């Protein structure tokens, strides 16, 4: 059980003006683990995830990947690090001017400098994995939300990341489409992908998470296995939040 | 009346050779403006505060001084002072291009700023450097969005190019003026010059409209 963590973030703090959106948040994750961040909107989940790969620059805090500290001032190191940390966004952020296939290829050809043919083959494989073989020639505007999110997962997977960060991957989808994206994430989980994910899908969290982290007002309030956090939380705020979410989305038990 | 038409008819080949000059002026100036405009726009959006300030100053200057003043200032003033020996034609392309760069930079800047910030974030998340992301992700989208504004800029540069006759470039207007003052047939010649500019505007904006349709991203409805 003493495996070293793949990714470690320590004391991440972020302020916007006077508002502290993230206060000394720390987290570490071992290979093949899935950790889920929950918490009300504005609690800092997104900021936390984006600070981990420096899409948002933290005011304070350090991040290690495979025991090596990431210095964000070293542009080359930072870009190499980001290649190894896949990111999935709430609103997909597919490149709108590129087809599904080209969206997946571009990281391979432009960042990993892979040859065109090899990149195409790999991109096809990744799109096949997320069930989009028939949609490779479509542009983002021609895809449904669920399909877009699956393309974005394929785009991240194509880089062969060591860790994936998923920032509310289903929050912009209607209920029917949520299932197809969650199914892909379960697949990833089954294949041993290391993931940190923020979500409001507590049922999903209780099913698949190794650990749940409850965040509020930028502070990590409570951490523990799903059964504890979702059903026997210690903190008053966690209890309130979880019962409200259950009221909204139904109980999984 | 008949006599005017005969004179006009005789002058047409001479005028049409001027069209070549006008078109070269516009293509040169728009091309120079395109390349510099893109660089200025990128610098103004993503550059350091000092870069932005410098570009802001450039845009303020070239948008704020009348074309004819700039033409005289550069052609008779600056280039002569620096001992740079340029033809009126080349100097005009440079001046028109520098001005167009200022206007075009603002077209591109607006287009870049209209893109969702998530595009750059997603590119960075893949490990792209910022310059790579700008080249592969931001500009291909921003330039598509810029075509309508660019078409507007084209018609302005086209008409501005007529002013270069003041430094002796033998474009359409200069030739019309030359024939008119020699034959005293002002009306038909300036009318013809006007029609030529109208046709060039029409063809250019029509062409750019086709380009706009061609580069439209599938799935986006108008």
Tell me the domain boundaries of chain A: 7-95+163-249
- Comparison of pLDDT for A37 and B10, the residue scoring more: A37
Query: Across the A/B interface, how many CB contacts are shorter than 8 Å?
Result: 77
Residue A213 pairs in a beta bridge with A37, A223
The answer for residues whose C-beta is within 8 angstroms of residue A90's C-beta and 6 or more apart is: A46, A167, A168, A169, A171, A172
* Residue A160 forms contact with B (CB below 8 Å): no
Question: Chain A window 42-81: which residues touch B at a Cβ cutoff of 8 Å?
Answer: 50, 53, 55, 75, 79-81
- Three-state secondary-structure class, residue A215: strand
Torsion of Cα atoms, B173 then B179 then B181 then B183, to 10°: -150
Q: For residue A93, list chain B residues with Cβ-Cβ distance below 8 A.
A: 116, 118-119, 121-122
CB A104 within 8 Å of CB A184: no
Give the residue among A233, B131, B158 at the shortest CA–CA distance from A246.
Answer: A233
β-strand pairing of A211-216 with A219-224: antiparallel
> Are the beta carbons of B132 and A110 separated by less than 8 Å?
yes
Q: What is the DSSP string of B116-148?
A: -THHHHHHHHTT--HHHHIIIIIHHHHHHHHHH
> Are the beta carbons of B118 and A82 separated by less than 8 Å?
no
Average pLDDT over residues B166-185: 92
* Residue A86 forms contact with B (CB below 8 Å): yes
Tokens of B99: 């001005």
Best residue in A111, A112, A114, A153 for a mutation probing chain B (most B CBs within 10 Å): A111
The answer for residues whose C-beta is within 8 angstroms of residue A44's C-beta and 6 or more apart is: A14, A21, A22, A23, A25, A215, A217, A218, A219
Q: What angle do CA B147, B38, B152 make, to 5 degrees?
A: 30
Largest CA distance in chain B: 73
Query: Which residue has tokens 């303020």?
Result: B60
Share of chain B above pLDDT 90, in %: 87
The whole-number pLDDT of residue A2 equals: 63
Tokens of A81: 């690090």
The whole-number pLDDT of residue B221 equals: 63
The whole-number pLDDT of residue B222 equals: 56
Give the residue among A77, A49, A57, A59 at the shortest CA–CA distance from A163.
Answer: A49
Best residue in B123, B125, B142 for a mutation probing chain A (most A CBs within 10 Å): B125
pLDDT in tens, B115-150: 999 999 999 999 999 999 999 999 999 999 999 999
Give the residue among A80, A55, A37, A12 at the shortest CA–CA distance from A167.
Answer: A37
pLDDT band, very low/low/confident/very high, at B152 (cuts 50, 70, 90): very high
> Are the beta carbons of A107 and B118 separated by less than 8 Å?
no
Model ipTM? 0.93
Q: For residue A95, list chain B residues with Cβ-Cβ distance below 8 A.
A: 119, 122-123, 137, 141
B124, B217, B218 ranked by CB distance to A55: nearest? B124
* Residue B125 forms contact with A (CB below 8 Å): yes
User: How far B118 CA sits from the closest chain A CA (Å)?
Assistant: 5
Q: What is the pLDDT along chain A (253 residues), one digit of tens a residue?
A: 567 899 999 999 999 999 999 999 999 999 999 999 999 988 999 999 999 999 999 999 999 999 999 998 899 999 999 999 999 999 999 999 999 999 999 999 999 999 999 999 999 999 999 999 999 999 999 999 999 999 999 999 999 999 999 999 999 898 888 999 999 999 999 999 999 999 998 889 999 999 999 999 999 999 999 989 888 888 888 888 888 887 776 654 4
- Comparison of pLDDT for B6 and B59, the residue scoring more: B59
Average pLDDT over residues B31-49: 97
The whole-number pLDDT of residue B148 equals: 94
- Residue A191 to residues A32, A123, A194, Cα–Cα distance (Å): 8, 18, 9
The whole-number pLDDT of residue A1 equals: 52
The whole-number pLDDT of residue A4 equals: 86
Residue A219 pairs in a beta bridge with A216
Give the residue among B95, B96, B92, B76 at the shortest CA–CA distance from B84.
Answer: B76
- Per-residue burial over B41-69, b = 16 or more CB atoms within 10 Å of its CB, e = otherwise: bbbbbbeeeeeeeebeebbeebeeeebee
> Are the beta carbons of A95 and B126 separated by less than 8 Å?
no
The whole-number pLDDT of residue A242 equals: 84
Closest residue in B to A80 (Cα–Cα): B127
Residue A16 pairs in a beta bridge with A19
Average pLDDT over residues B167-187: 92
Which parts of chain A fold into alpha helices (H)? 45-52, 75-84, 100-106, 116-129, 145-157, 175-190, 202-208, 226, 236-249
* Residue A139 forms contact with B (CB below 8 Å): yes
Q: CA-CA distance, A7 to A28, in Å (whole number)?
A: 6
Q: Which CATH fold topology does A7-95+163-249 show?
A: Rossmann fold (3.40.50)
User: How far A99 CA sits from the closest chain B CA (Å)?
Assistant: 9
> Are the beta carbons of A107 and B128 separated by less than 8 Å?
yes
> Are the beta carbons of B125 and A87 separated by less than 8 Å?
yes
The whole-number pLDDT of residue A250 equals: 62
The whole-number pLDDT of residue A252 equals: 47
Q: For residue A80, list chain B residues with Cβ-Cβ distance below 8 A.
A: 127
The whole-number pLDDT of residue A79 equals: 94
pLDDT in tens, B188-198: 899 999 999 99
Domains annotated for chain B, with CATH where assigned, are 2-215 (1.10.3720.10)
Give the residue among B181, B178, B176 at the shortest CA–CA distance from B191.
Answer: B176
B45 pLDDT more than 80: yes
> Are the beta carbons of B119 and A96 separated by less than 8 Å?
yes
* Residue B122 forms contact with A (CB below 8 Å): yes
CB B25 within 8 Å of CB B171: yes
Largest CA distance in chain A: 56
B92 pLDDT more than 50: yes
- Three-state secondary-structure class, residue B59: helix
Q: CA-CA distance, A72 to A64, in Å (whole number)?
A: 11
* Residue B136 forms contact with A (CB below 8 Å): yes
In whole angstroms, what separates CA B92 from the centre of its chain? 12
* Residue B139 forms contact with A (CB below 8 Å): no
């Amino acid at each position: 059980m003493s495996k070293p963590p793949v990714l470690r973030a320590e004391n991440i703090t972020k302020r916007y003006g006077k508002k502290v959106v993230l206060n000394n948040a720390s987290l570490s994750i071992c290979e093949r683990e899935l950790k889920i961040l929950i918490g009300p909107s504005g609690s800092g989940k997104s900021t936390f995830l984006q600070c981990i790969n420096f899409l948002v620059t933290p005011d304070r805090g350090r991040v290690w990947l495979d025991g090596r500290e990431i210095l964000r001032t070293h542009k080359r190191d930072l870009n190499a690090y980001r290649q190894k940390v896949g990111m999935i966004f709430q609103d997909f952020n597919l490149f709108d001017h590129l087809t599904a296939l080209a969206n997946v290829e571009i990281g391979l050809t432009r960042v990993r400098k892979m040859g065109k043919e090899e990149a195409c083959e790999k991109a096809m494989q990744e799109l096949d994995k997320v069930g989009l073989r028939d949609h490779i020639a479509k542009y983002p505007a021609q895809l449904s939300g669920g399909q877009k999110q699956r393309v974005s997962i394929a785009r991240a997977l194509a880089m062969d990341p060591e860790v994936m960060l998923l920032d509310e991957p289903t929050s912009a989808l209607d209920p029917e489409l949520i299932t197809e994206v969650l199914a892909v994430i379960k697949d990833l989980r089954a294949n041993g992908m290391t993931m940190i994910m923020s979500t409001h899908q507590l049922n999903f969290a209780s099913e698949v998470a190794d650990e749940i982290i409850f965040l509020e007002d930028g502070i990590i309030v409570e951490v523990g296995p799903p059964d504890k956090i979702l059903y026997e939380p210690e903190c008053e705020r966690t209890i309130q939040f979880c019962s409200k979410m259950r009221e909204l989305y139904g109980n999984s038990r | 009346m008949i006599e005017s038409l005969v004179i006009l008819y005789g002058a047409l080949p001479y005028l049409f050779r001027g069209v070549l000059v006008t078109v070269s002026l516009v293509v040169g100036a728009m091309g120079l403006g395109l390349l510099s405009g893109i660089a200025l726009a990128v610098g103004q959006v993503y550059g350091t505060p000092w870069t932005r300030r410098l570009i802001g100053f450039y845009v303020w200057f070239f948008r704020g001084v009348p074309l004819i003043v700039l033409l005289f200032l550069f052609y008779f003033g600056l280039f002569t002072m620096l001992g740079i020996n340029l033809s009126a034609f080349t100097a005009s392309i440079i001046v028109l291009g520098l001005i167009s760069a200022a206007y075009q930079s603002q077209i591109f800047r607006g287009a870049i700023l209209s893109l969702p910030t998530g595009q750059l974030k997603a590119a960075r998340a893949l490990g792209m450097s910022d310059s790579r992301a700008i080249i592969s992700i931001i500009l291909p989208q921003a330039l598509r969005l810029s075509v309508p504004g660019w078409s507007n800029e084209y018609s302005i540069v086209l008409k501005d190019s007529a002013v270069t006759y003041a430094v002796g470039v033998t474009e359409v207007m200069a030739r019309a003026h030359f024939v008119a003052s020699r034959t005293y047939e002002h009306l038909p010649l300036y009318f013809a010059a006007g029609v030529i500019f109208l046709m060039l505007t029409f063809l250019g904006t029509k062409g750019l409209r086709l380009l706009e349709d061609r580069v439209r991203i599938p799935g986006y409805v108008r």
